[in-house]
Amino acid sequence: MALHRCAVVGVGQTHHTSCRGDVSIAGLVREAVDRALLDANMTLADIDAIVIGKAPDMLEGVMMPELWLTDSLAASGKPLFRVHTAGSVGGSTAIVAAQHVMSGLHKRVLTIAFEKQSDGNAMWALSVPLPFSMPVHAGAGGYFSPIVRSYIRRSGAPSHIGAMVAVKDRTNALKNPYAHLHEDHWTLEKAMESPMLWDPIRFVETCPSSDGAIALVLASEDVADKMPGKKAWVHSTAMRSEPTMFAGRNQVSPRAGEMCAEDVFHKAGITDPLKQIDAVEMYVPFSWFEPMWLENLGFAPKDQGWRFVEDGVTEMTGALPVNASGGVLSSNPIGASGMLRFGEAALQVMGKAGEHQIEGARTALGHAYGGGSQFFAMWVVGSEKN
């Protein structure tokens, strides 16, 4: 339990798309920042400190881009901090920002995550070949597909589960104006016909490559209490890491993920997550990870996560709606994807998610992971103070 309370008082994001050729990296970032500030009824002058996260600098070819972004964020004279924890970075960044408030250090903190994949070549940047090794990998799909196969073998999940998740998330995305993919033609039947890219992962079960940014304004309790708008109170945050590969490592359900979930629920006073959590924004870049994370996070018993999917538990109308926003499967600006999960969770408990609002959501989980399923970042947010 941290010493001071922190609330999300502003959320802003860009429309995510494959190429925002009309704006520079700075322009993309400012679009999200300006929306978040407008939402919080603040200006940049009100901000005490800024915390920025993004995935590898090589994606855009700018080394430590926050140094350059200082100019467009009018951050001169302020503390500006840069986080990088692989795919979980958006989540970790929001957590580091929240800690600037939960420590009592600052009252108004702006946190930003972005990726402009179209400014570089992500497939190249993520597959730099190392000398003396065997180049068999084919991007992230090539890395995660064998793990999905292991899950299917272990759990006995039927082949259509991945397609079901994909259809659900793509359908949810139709209700989210910011989502990258707005595809209204998916049925389970059509999804099952989608080509196998990285067998057992089908094309429809993979995430797009997006340009996008998100920004959150975080405030201390005294500041938030004086604001009339809706806010999301940060009930708890947690991070855990483990090595990429070691003998005997459970890659399907990494221990770091389980521990992170136990910690974030414990600190938020949640004893029965399935009952007490109203909405989940989960980092699912390949659809099979939804049932896998349901188990890892403790929502579903071991090997039973896929049954939740099959029974519609994770649909918007189900008992545990997962990724009402459409999730990573519908928008993936890599470095921003984790913070989008955290921000969408906040929007749910603020009652500001628009068409993809889960009715009556009071407590929500934001989840992000990165590296070889080894870095985890999570937060629980609520409509009321904890």
Partner 1 sequence: MADDILRIRTPIGIDYTWSSGPGSVVYMRGLENGKLIGRRCPACELVYFPPRNGICPRCGVLLAAEVEVGPRGTITTFCVVNVPFLGQTIKIPYVAATILLDGADIGMQHLIQECEAADVRMGMRVEPVWKDKSEWTPSLENIRYYKPTGEPDADFDVYARHL
Partner 2 sequence: MRDVAIVAYIEGQNTSATTLSPVEMIVPVVHEILNRANVQRSDIDFWCHGSCDYMTGQPFSFVSAVDALGAWPPIMESHVEMDGAWALYEAWVKIQTGEANTALVFGNGKSSAGDMNRALTLQLDPYVVAPLWPGFRSLEAMGARAAIDAGTVTERQMADVVSRSLRDAADNPNVLAYGYRDADELLDEPMTANPLRAHDCPAMADGVAAIIMTTADRALEMCDRPAWIRGIDHRIDFQNLGLRDLSRSNSAALASYHAGVTKDKVDVAELHATYSHHEIILAQSMGIDRSTTRMMPSGGALVANPLMAAGLARFGQAARQIFKGNADRAVAHAAQGACLQQNIVAVLEGN
Q: Measure Cα distances from 187 to 14, 81, 168, 178, 355 in Å.
A: 28, 44, 9, 22, 21
Minimum Å gap between C-beta 49 and partner 2 is: 9
196 scored as a contact of partner 1 (CB under 8 A) = yes
Minimum Å gap between C-beta 373 and partner 1 is: 12
User: One symbol per residue from 22 to 61: x for binding partner 2 (CB under 8 A), - otherwise; what is it?
Assistant: --xx------------------------------xxxxxx
331 scored as a contact of partner 2 (CB under 8 A) = no
248 scored as a contact of partner 1 (CB under 8 A) = yes
155 scored as a contact of partner 1 (CB under 8 A) = no
Q: 162 exposed, middle or buried (CB, 10 Å; 0-12, 13-18, 19+)?
A: buried
Task: Label residues 27-59 b or e (16+ Cβ within 10 Å = b).
Answer: ebbbbbbebbbebbebeeeebbbbbbbbbbbeb
* Binding positions for partner 2, 95-154, rule CB under 8 A: 96, 99-100, 102-105, 119, 125-126, 128, 130
The dihedral sign for the CA sequence 290, 295, 298, 304: positive
Minimum Å gap between C-beta 59 and partner 2 is: 8
Nearer to partner 1, 92 or 206 (CB): 206
Q: Measure Cα distances from 296 to 171, 213, 253, 267, 302 in Å.
A: 25, 28, 5, 18, 8
Span near partner 1 by CB under 8 A; candidates 91-99, 105-113, 250-258, 331-339: 250-258
- Alpha helices for 88-160 (secondary structure H): 89-102, 122-125, 139-155
Span near partner 1 by CB under 8 A; candidates 30-38, 89-97, 136-144, 363-371: 136-144
Tell me the sheet residues that pair with 53: 83, 113
Binding-site member from 199, 222, 311, 355 for partner 1 (CB under 8 A): 199
User: One symbol per residue from 343 to 382: x for binding partner 2 (CB under 8 A), - otherwise; what is it?
Assistant: ----------------------------xx-xx-------
Tell me the sheet residues that pair with 11: 216
Q: Are strands 232-241 and 201-202 parallel, antiparallel or unpaired?
A: unpaired
* Binding positions for partner 2, 220-259, rule CB under 8 A: 238-244, 246, 254-256, 259
Tell me, by CB under 8 A, how many residues bind partner 2: 62
149 scored as a contact of partner 1 (CB under 8 A) = yes
142 scored as a contact of partner 1 (CB under 8 A) = yes
Helix (H) or strand (E) holding 214: strand 211-220
Q: Residue 255, CB half-sphere, CA atoms under 13 Å: how many?
A: 8
Q: Are strands 363-370 and 80-83 parallel, antiparallel or unpaired?
A: unpaired
Q: Which does 383 bind (CB under 5 to 8 A by kind): partner 2, partner 1, none?
A: none
Omega before 200 within 30 of 0, i.e. cis: yes
150 scored as a contact of partner 1 (CB under 8 A) = yes
Nearer to partner 2, 38 or 68 (CB): 68
